[in-house]
């Protein structure tokens, strides 16, 4: 009884420890895709703050009684009412609660009481949030956040803008469009570390900016042969189709020319190469040395104007738009740069941390910084020492 449920619970434990074999990963992925509730269970088990909270319940005087009643429910649940069919995800949840949650709670309890770094809980750093600043052509700076959601205001050329659900939207006048005088005047959208924000450009193109990024674009595309924008940092684009006016993105020594497509560009200054990943449509990349065309599922790496093509890892590319950091097959320092941007901190490495050291696994982006560092220390590769917003990393 419950053989499959306990097998899934074991897979959950191994998944959280990054110990799944190739066959186990395939079985786990199949289970994960069965229903949304399975994703919710994995998310709950990945949230160590929630697990630590649960620990308080089971460390209480009544904790043993609660645990015994859960076990008793498992033993009697199928035998007392055999005619009732239990939904698989519910029984898996119960099994995981007994086998997985208690294991993870005890693990995190040990970890938080024996970790190698100390962290003042009152000074713990919260995860990033929605926010940005908009600089108009006249130099006016407008702070953007969900606090002002649904508010409408005017730009410096009479264009109307709205903030809605983490996005800045340019509201075009469909009778006259935006004033001709706005053509060519540049607006700049900036996100600091620890911020993300979206924008719907005057042509209807949707852009989502990652932390520490800068997007420059015209207040109006009217009268231009091409829709030219520039990016520093990282952004995801859903480009509005307009065959007569190609969309051109300029970033880190390359031009990306598209007609209508979905793609992501990572062009941070502190990365040794820019990466353009295509999800739909096609794009043409041009540098001073070469030119390449991407098809869906591919990504182009630009290193010193030399382009190379490889298959894109979509989960890794778009983790910044999800609730988890994806660190599988990612270099350790590149993984920590993602953490730096999200929590607005700085990692300082000792000389033993090599550039070819690799990371692995997944970590919830909804955790506070102390929880993320504890999870990374679980790898047994490094330890952390915290001084304000500087995190010193030492190889074990």
- Kindly state whether residues 254 and 339 are assigned to the same domain: no
List b or e across 363-390, with b for residues whose CB sees 16 or more CB atoms inside 10 angstroms. Answer: bbbbbbbbbbbbbbbbeebbbbebeeee
Count of domains observed in the chain: 3
- Kindly state whether residues 92 and 145 are assigned to the same domain: no
Phi/psi at 122 (5° precision): -75, -15
**Residue 202 near residue 220 (C-beta atoms within 8 A):** yes
- Reported confidence tier of residue 111, pLDDT bands at 50, 70, 90: very low
- Kindly state whether residues 153 and 94 are assigned to the same domain: no
Indicate whether 339 belongs to any domain: yes
- Kindly state whether residues 328 and 310 are assigned to the same domain: no
The CATH code of the domain that includes 273 is: 2.60.120.1440
Q: How many other CB atoms are found less than 10 A from the CB of residue 286?
A: 15
pLDDT (tens digit, 9 = 90+) per residue, 227-275?
999 999 999 999 999 989 999 999 999 999 997 899 999 999 999 999 9
- Kindly state whether residues 71 and 134 are assigned to the same domain: no
Q: Give 371 or 11, the one with higher predicted confidence.
A: 371
Domain residue limits at 265:
129-316
Indicate whether 124 belongs to any domain: no
Helix (H, G, I), strand (E, B) or coil at 73: helix
List b or e across 99-128, with b for residues whose CB sees 16 or more CB atoms inside 10 angstroms. Answer: bbbbbbbebbbebeeebeeebeeeeebebb
Domain boundary among 284, 316, 348: 316
User: Residue 234, class by beta-carbon neighbours within 10 Å (0-12 exposed, 13-18 middle, 19+ buried)?
Assistant: buried
- Kindly state whether residues 264 and 332 are assigned to the same domain: no
- Kindly state whether residues 303 and 173 are assigned to the same domain: yes
Indicate whether 384 belongs to any domain: yes
Indicate whether 120 belongs to any domain: no
- Kindly state whether residues 302 and 358 are assigned to the same domain: no
Indicate whether 123 belongs to any domain: no
Domain boundary among 285, 316, 347: 316
- Kindly state whether residues 78 and 210 are assigned to the same domain: no
Domain boundary among 114, 149, 175: 114
- Kindly state whether residues 84 and 221 are assigned to the same domain: no
Indicate whether 218 belongs to any domain: yes
Confidence at residue 22, expressed as pLDDT on a 0 to 100 scale: 77
User: Residue 283, class by beta-carbon neighbours within 10 Å (0-12 exposed, 13-18 middle, 19+ buried)?
Assistant: buried
The CATH code of the domain that includes 340 is: 3.55.50.30
**pTM of the complete model beyond 0.75:** no
- Kindly state whether residues 270 and 183 are assigned to the same domain: yes
- Kindly state whether residues 331 and 311 are assigned to the same domain: no
Long-range CB pairs of 293-297 (<8 Å, 24+ gap) are: 294/263
pLDDT (tens digit, 9 = 90+) per residue, 175-222?
344 444 455 689 999 999 999 999 999 999 999 999 999 999 998 888
Indicate whether 119 belongs to any domain: no
Mean pLDDT of 359-377: 90
Please name the residue that has the structure tokens 């007569």. Answer: 244
Indicate whether 294 belongs to any domain: yes
């Amino acid at each position: 009884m419950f053989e499959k449920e306990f097998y899934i619970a074991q897979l959950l434990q191994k998944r959280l420890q990054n110990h799944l074999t190739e066959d186990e990963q395939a079985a786990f992925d199949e289970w994960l895709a069965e229903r949304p509730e399975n994703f919710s269970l994995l998310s709950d088990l990945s949230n160590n703050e929630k697990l630590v909270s649960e620990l308080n319940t089971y460390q209480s005087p009544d904790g043993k009684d609660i645990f015994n009643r859960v076990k008793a429910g498992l033993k009697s649940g199928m035998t007392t009412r055999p005619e009732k069919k239990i939904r698989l995800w519910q029984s898996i949840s119960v099994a995981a609660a007994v086998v997985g949650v208690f294991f993870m709670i005890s693990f995190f309890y040990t970890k938080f009481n024996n970790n190698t770094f100390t962290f003042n809980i009152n000074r713990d750093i919260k995860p990033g949030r929605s926010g940005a600043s908009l600089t108009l052509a006249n130099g006016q700076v407008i702070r953007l956040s969900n606090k002002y959601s649904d508010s409408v205001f005017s730009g410096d050329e009479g264009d109307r803008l709205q903030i809605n659900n983490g996005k800045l939207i340019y509201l075009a006048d469909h009778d006259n469009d935006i004033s001709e005088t706005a053509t060519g005047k540049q607006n700049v959208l900036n996100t600091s570390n620890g911020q993300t924000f979206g924008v719907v450009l005057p042509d209807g193109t949707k852009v989502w900016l990652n932390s520490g990024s800068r997007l420059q674009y015209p207040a109006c595309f009217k009268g231009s042969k091409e829709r030219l924008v520039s990016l520093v940092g990282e952004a995801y684009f859903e480009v509005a189709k307009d065959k007569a006016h190609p969309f051109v993105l300029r970033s880190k020594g390359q031009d990306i020319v598209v007609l209508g497509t979905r793609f992501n560009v990572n062009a941070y200054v502190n990365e040794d190469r820019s990466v353009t990943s295509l999800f739909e449509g096609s794009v043409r990349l041009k540098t001073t040395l070469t030119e390449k065309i991407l098809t869906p599922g591919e990504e182009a790496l630009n290193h010193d104007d030399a382009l190379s093509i490889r298959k894109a890892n979509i989960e890794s590319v778009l983790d910044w738009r999800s609730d988890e950091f994806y660190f599988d097959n990612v270099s350790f320092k590149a993984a920590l740069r993602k953490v730096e941007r999200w929590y607005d901190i700085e990692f300082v490495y000792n000389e033993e941390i090599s550039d070819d050291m690799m990371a692995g696994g997944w970590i919830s982006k909804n955790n506070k910084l102390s929880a993320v560092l504890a999870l990374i220390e679980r790898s047994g590769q490094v330890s952390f020492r915290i001084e304000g917003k500087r995190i010193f990393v030492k190889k074990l």
